[in-house]
Amino acid sequence: METLNNMLLAVPKMATDDYVGFTFFVGCMAMMAASAFFFLSMNSFDAKWRTSILVSGLITFIAAVHYYYMRDYWASGNGSPVFFRYVDWILTVPLMCVEFYLILKAAGATKKLMWTLIGASTVMLVTGYWGEGVDRDNAWLWGLASGLAYFYIVYLIWFGEAKALATSAGGEVLKAHNILCKFVLIGWAIYPIGYMAGTGGWYGGEGDFFGMTLAMDVVYNIGDAINKIGFGLVVYNLAVASSSK
């Protein structure tokens, strides 16, 4: 009985050099804290910004739930939680596309633009999952397809319809849009690096990445913290700047 209790109650001890486990742990807390922050601040803004802040909170909240699970998954010795990583992304990345739509809505953004962004992000993630979780031998090919969808998103927000709407809106909306564009171009570019660290032939080995050894999950966890919380804070900032006037 005692052994059984020990087995059931045992919490795996985290090794001090378990950077993956550590970033899952810190990532989980950061996502929870960010969610509380966004949800609790929501009602201090003009009504038209509340949905945007709500979505910021939902993004970090959905991530927090996944991190809670992924942290334990990793700690229990199951390796990388590839499937749930992508479940998290397939829910949160489309919500980030919705954020673009919401802040550009007053400038005339259409549902069609929103669904185009969501569609491209879905293609990006499904092909990425296929390369990482199903057909690893052809990871480069799936990564390439994913990359094309990614660049299409970059194109739409930097130069396409979304950019034109942001320019016509001007002011704080344009400023926020431009920062979000940088998150997508620079912040999201972290993910292909993680993908290359996790699939064969690129950066997975010792010292492969400019002398460093990259662990896929560490790269993804850093990417998520920057992008999910950072993205939400840009929207929060926009709401602050626009509500006080």
Size of the residue set binding ligand RET (CB under 6 A): 17
Nearer to ligand RET, 14 or 154 (CB): 154
Helical packing angle, 230-243 and 47-75, nearest 10°: 160
CB of 129 to ligand RET, least distance (A): 7
From 11-19, 47-55, 68-76, 146-154, give the range in contact with ligand RET by CB under 6 A.
146-154
Residues 99-138 that bind ligand RET (CB under 6 A): 124-125, 128
Q: 157 CB contacts (<8 Å, ≥6 apart)?
A: 100, 117, 163, 177, 180, 181, 184
**How far apart are alpha carbons 71 and 75 in whole angstroms?**
6
Nearer CB in complex with ligand RET: 99/224: 224
One of 67, 73, 89, 101 touching ligand RET (CB under 6 A):
89
Query: In this chain, which of 94, 118, 228, 238 binds ligand RET, going by CB under 6 A?
Result: 228
Dihedral sign from CA coordinates of 40, 104, 176, 24: positive
Q: Counting beta carbons within 10 angstroms of the beta carbon of residue 121, is it exposed (0 to 12), middle (13 to 18) or buried (19 or more)?
A: buried
Q: Quick check: 158 and 181 in contact, CB under 8 A? A: yes
Beta pairing partners, 209:
212
Establish if 143 lies at the interface with ligand RET (CB under 6 A): yes
Q: From 31-39, 76-84, 208-216, 221-229, give the range in contact with ligand RET by CB under 6 A.
A: 221-229
The verdict on 161 binding ligand RET (CB under 6 A) reads no
Candidates 9-17, 141-149, 161-169, 201-209: pick the segment binding ligand RET (CB under 6 A): 141-149
User: Which residue, 45 or 232, is less far from ligand RET as judged by CB?
Assistant: 232
Per CB under 6 A, 30 contacts ligand RET: no
Distances (CA, A) of 18 to 28, 74, 106, 148: 15, 10, 47, 34
- Of the candidates 96, 91, 78, 95, which has an alpha carbon nearest to the alpha carbon of residue 21? 78
Give me the helices (H) in the chain, please. Answer: 2-9, 19-41, 47-75, 82-104, 111-129, 139-158, 161-169, 171-182, 190-198, 216-224, 230-243
Q: Which is nearer to ligand RET, 28 or 169 (CB)?
A: 28
Residue among 217 and 224 whose Cβ is closer to ligand RET: 224
152 touching ligand RET, by CB under 6 A: no
Under the rule (CB under 6 A), what is the footprint of ligand RET? 89, 92-93, 124-125, 128, 143, 146-147, 150, 188, 191-192, 195, 224, 227-228
